[in-house]
Amino acid sequence: MDIGAALTIALLAALLGQAWSLRVRFGAHVNWLVAALMLNAMSLPAAMLLLGDASTGLGLLAGFVAVLVASAAAIGALIWLRRMENLQSRNITSGEHG
């Protein structure tokens, strides 16, 4: 990758990350940690591509495990996000039994 382009992308991503993180409500901190986890799980498509083209036994094994753990983390994080947002949107009032 061209170093100039890489540095530009890195700078923009860093600025965006800083701008967002400084505005995060403390009570919603945990939602953002799950969002960051989803971003980290973007290794999944790269793992899938490299596993698809792997030609050695060890490459196949490493690719298989990489796809397995990346998809587990990504889908697992998505399930937690759904559960958290469901709870946060729940609006039980006094007198109702949750």
Q: What is the CA radius of gyration of the chain?
A: 19
Does the protein bind another protein through residue 91 (CB under 8 A)? yes
Answer yes or no whether residue 4 interacts with another protein by CB under 8 A.
Answer: no
x-marked contacts with another protein along 5-44 as a string, rule CB under 8 A: xx--xx-xxx-xxx-xxxxx-xxxxxxxxxxxxxxxxxxx
94 binds another protein (CB under 8 A): yes
Give, as ranges, the residues between 59 and 78 that touch another protein (CB under 8 A): 59-60, 62-78
Share in percent of the chain as helix, strand, coil (round to 5): 80, 0, 20
Compute the distance between CA of residue 19 and CA of residue 71 in angstroms, rounded to an integer.
29
